[in-house]
Chains A and B, each alone.
Chain A
Amino acid sequence: MGRRILLTGLDTFWGGKVAAALEKNPEVEMILGMGTGEPSIGLERTEYVRAEQSYSLLERIVSSTEVDTIVHTFLVVDSTRTSGRDLHEVNVIGTMNLLAAAGAPGSSVRHVVVKSSTVVYGAGPKDPAWFAEDTPRSRPPRTRLERSLTEVETYVRDFADDNPDILVTVLRFANVLGASVETPISRNLARGMFPAVAGYDPQIQFVEEDDVVRCFELVVRERVPGVFNVAADGCLPWSQVARLAGAWRLRLPPLFTREAAAPLVRLNLLDLPPELEDLLRFGRGVDTTSLKGLGFRFDTTSAGTVELFARAGRLSQPVGDRVACHSYDSDLEAFFRHSPAVVRRRS
């Protein structure tokens, strides 16, 4: 029997792209995507269910579909677009319910992949230049997002301890940039105005969205357990990021940074989540030796990621979304899938 995969967050960039990549794998028999909205990209054979992540529902879905793999991408890492309560509900409670369902008696689940972020390491003056997966934070979590992701990882760790027969993979992604993913950093870059803290020029690491998807695909295909940092080679100074992306750096004062930025944030001219404030001072680098030990190679370096992003941005300025990379229409999709008029060839 082929692999049966449950994927959360199908309507987000992450879920959609990962589902599209998994579809190409012939070993995968079935993909069931969950989401709270419509999927944003065209998918060939992924089943889609629109549902909240409540325990009773998840438990029913898991037991009735007999999935063997859960890919949990529905974790919010952009704290500017989500209230504190929603952040907690989605990240912590959502993960808790999912893991509870996966670990229920008689569960068919054998592998759980969870998307996390290098935000769990924080950013502070006492940090090493490169975090390995087991390097502890140098100070306790300071922001809502850091706290929520740390809690999520604690749940995942406990789950792995309690269920030794289930493989558990945690992927900690660095700042993702790409043509389609939207993050506070990408929004700032796209506006051409980029926050910076005057006097600081930290080293920042990025990862390209296609590398992100390939990484997901690899750990699902090869069923590798463990915690992995996912970040492209090299770090680059913030000033250089701005130069590569052609963005102007708005230098905020080192003291009262938040207060100084508040009016611009209010006017939606700037994105400055608290995590970014620390990052803009101290930067963060992560070590990817373990991921490379699996044979994974990044296609793009950190600097290359920023270049690619800048290219995509320059392209979209004149043509906008008219050259749609993800033209998707749910009605049409339903027609292709279910209408008797469509000729289906069995392979």
Chain B
Amino acid sequence: MRRQFEALPAEPDPADARKDDVDAWGRSEHLRELVRKVGRFYYERWFRVEWEGLEKIPLTGGALLIANHGGAIPADAPMIMQGIETELGRPVYGLADHWFRTVPVLGTLWNRAGGIPAHPDNAHRLLHDDGQLVLAFPEGAKGPSKPRSERYQLRRFGRGGFVETAMRAGVPVVPIAVLGAEEAMPMLFKIPVLGKALGMPYVPVTINHLLLGPVLGTLVYLPAKFRFRVLDPVIFDVEPALERYPLSRVVKEADAIRQRVQDELCDMLAGRASVWFG
């Protein structure tokens, strides 16, 4: 059973003796700034990100952004966050597997850079109480861990939890179709034994690894052209803050959104002349 939160506005911390800028979610605006500076090279020069329909992302209030997830170590999340934060000036909180939290150093950096463990309660608070933009990948680890041959074939959108979260918080779902991330780091195969031993969702071996070796291959992406297409926001005509929503409705909505993203991806793929130059 989960609690319902009253419609209280997010209270600013009065007389807070904080000495740096880490917020209650662990996000640091200083570190975001730094990440954006580094990310700018990738965003502008390397992936040459282009947006379509950026104006569909709301400038105020909470919204749940969802996208397809691709590439063995996905570059889509940081690029979407980078894009929205620089172009719209709104912070984005990225939901991800709680596995990050267990990794020393990386976990802390991830959290400071706006990464939040994907727990329904966290999403609800961010969307409803704080009115923030939240980025989620409903495919979860199934998206990036699929083999190269199945690129741009969307996996199951979890159990539709993202729809329920948006319904409960009373916010729109804004789907984003991402083109290019799959080719930036194509998966060859996984090493399940190593994944299990390290407690990681999966351990990939990529084309980048073949070309550049184990270390550089993990850090350097192939310069695929990135295109983000923002689809029309989905506003659910349901009462917010309910304990449960009809399963049939949730599953139907999740399937419909998945199908729309898939259709747009097919359209974008059909119109793409080159993987590298778009």
Contact = CB atoms under 8 A, between A and B. Distances in A.
A233 B11 contact: yes
Interface stretch (B21-29, B35-43, B176-184, B225-233): B21-29
Contacts of B2: 132, 134-135
A199 B105 contact: yes
Interface string A225-248: 000000001111100100110000
A285 to B, nearest CB: 7
Given A125-B102, A128-B119, A198-B104, A301 B17 contact: yes
Contacts of B112: 201
A303 B17 contact: yes
Contacts of B117: 125-129
A281 B104 CA distance: 9
B14 interface: yes
Given A234-B13, A237-B26, A289-B6, A200 B108 contact: yes
Contacts, number: 99
**Which of A125, A301, A306, A307 has the largest count of B CB atoms less than 10 A from its CB?**
A125
Interface in B87-128: 98-99, 101-108, 112, 116-117, 119-122, 125
Contacts of B103: 199
Given A199-B105, A237-B26, A129 B119 contact: yes
Interface in A300-323: 301, 303-304, 306-307
B13 A233 contact: yes
Contacts of B104: 197-200, 254
A223 to B, nearest CB: 23
A254 B108 CA distance: 13
B24 A126 contact: no
Contacts of A134: 1-3
A67 to B, nearest CB: 33
A203 B3 contact: no
Size category of the A interface is 35 or more
Contacts of A237: 22, 26
Nearest to A236: B18
Interface string A105-143: 000000000000000000001111110111100000000
A74 interface: no
Size category of the B interface is 35 or more
Nearest to A290: B3
A134 to B, nearest CB: 6
The secondary-structure label for the interface of chain B is loop
Contacts of A200: 104, 107-108
B16 interface: yes
B74 to A, nearest CB: 20
A129 B121 contact: yes
Contacts of A203: 22, 24-26
B25 to A, nearest CB: 6
Contacts of A277: none
Contacts of A194: none
Contacts of B16: 234, 301, 303-304
Contacts of A234: 13, 16, 18, 24
Interface in A59-97: none
A326 to B, nearest CB: 26
B191 interface: no
Contact of B15 (A199, A287, A304, A306): A304
B19 A129 contact: no
Contacts of A132: 2-3, 121
A282 interface: yes
B20 interface: yes
Interface of A: 125-130, 132-135, 197-201, 203, 233-237, 240, 243-244, 254, 281-282, 285, 287, 289, 293, 301, 303-304, 306-307
Interface of B: 1-3, 5-6, 8, 11, 13-20, 22, 24-26, 98-99, 101-108, 112, 116-117, 119-122, 125
14 contacts: A125-B98, A125-B99, A126-B117, A126-B119, A129-B25, A129-B121, A133-B3, A201-B108, A203-B25, A234-B24, A236-B22, A303-B16, A303-B17, A304-B17
